[in-house]
Structure 1
Amino acid sequence: MYRYTICFLKHRNGILMLNRSKSPLMGLWNGVGGKLEHGETPLDSVLREVREETGILLETACYKGIVSWLVDGVETGGMYAFLAHLPEDYERSQTPQVVEEGILDWKELAWVLDPDNAGVPENLPTFLPYMLEEDEPCQHIFTYENSLVVNYETASLPKPVTT
């Protein structure tokens, strides 16, 4: 079981991003999320984190899989990834907005996915398009050597049972 969750909130052609003020990934724009608390499911965790970090009350989010990483041949972590489509008539809050975790801002999807964008984690433009376009959950496995991505693989995951 992984310790982290991440959620990308999409509205029209924008993604709500958080520029984190703390490690890991301090100073980079990323989705919202954080650590699972004791006894939480990944979905419970991501709904809580979205509420705490953005004030947005989601009823659910779509499970899109896992992003994991190997560093120098050793699996060192991963996160459960979710996507939430906000309704067309959703009224965005004024951004940028300083929050406890950093700065929230709506970013255009083209900006987020630009391969030359050094302001997002380097693996994000690789896995986020899959999350936006595909229905089935997938594991995105990144291999790092000397802090650089040297390999990317995907693996199918079973769709979780919802009741």
Structure 2
Amino acid sequence: MKNTTLCYIENPAGEYLMLHRVKKENDCNHDKWIGVGGKFEDGESPEECVLRETLEETGLTLTDYRYRGIVTFVSDRWETEYMHLFTATGWTGRIREDCDEGVLEWIHRDRLAALPQWEGDRIFLELLRREVPFFSLKLRYEGERLAYAALNGREMER
């Protein structure tokens, strides 16, 4: 199993800095739009990982961020992943033009649903939008199809 972070950076216009994953080969997120983040390095806390990954991918140093929840991904294709989910509204620096992972773009949150993304991402983006307190979300995929979702240990109606 692996530990990762994911951060949705939001600007005052209600836009998230999204990463269109188009640059890496054999990427399970290929052509999907996601937040920024990545895998923990040995000994890192979730906060240290999100700060490092955000800086590496975007060039931004987060100054105001919140730990919002943990998402457990179970799949019949990939190893189990524990994703530590963050949002951020403050940062310093300038956005990199040359992200190795894909293309960075500000997308208004009302337009996110129209973009290619994982079905489970739509669930946790809605939880973030509704300002749900810290949560645990379990998502089980069969291939790219979401087969099961549970919020705080209770199966969700979909």
- TM-score, reference length from structure 1: 0.79
Q: Which runs of 5+ in 1 are unaligned?
A: 157-163
Q: Which residue of 2 aligns with 1:83?
A: 87
Letter in 2 for 1:52: E
Q: Which residue of 2 aligns with 1:154?
A: 151
Partners of 2:118 and 2:144 within 8 A in 1: no
Q: Which residue of 1 aligns with 2:4?
A: 4
Identity %: 32
Partners of 1:69 and 1:143 within 8 A in 2: yes
Q: Which residue of 2 aligns with 1:48?
A: 52
1:70 matched to 2:74: yes
Q: Which portions of structure 1, spanning 4 or more consecutive aligned residues, are displaced by more than 6 angstroms?
A: none
Letter in 1 for 2:144: S
The 3 A distance-change label for structure 1 pair 75 and 153 is farther
Note the C-alpha offset of 1:2: 4.6
Note the C-alpha offset of 1:92: 7.6
Which has the larger displacement, 119-128 or 3-12? 119-128
The 3 A distance-change label for structure 1 pair 59 and 143 is same
How many corresponding residue pairs? Answer: 148
- TM-score, reference length from structure 2: 0.81
CA RMSD of aligned residues (A): 2.6
Which has the larger displacement, 38-47 or 130-139? 130-139
Q: Which runs of 5+ in 2 are unaligned?
A: 154-158
Which has the larger displacement, 139-148 or 38-47? 139-148
Q: Which residue of 2 aligns with 1:29?
A: 33
Q: Deviations over 1:54-90 (max 9, x none)?
A: 1111134200111112235x98222100000138xx8
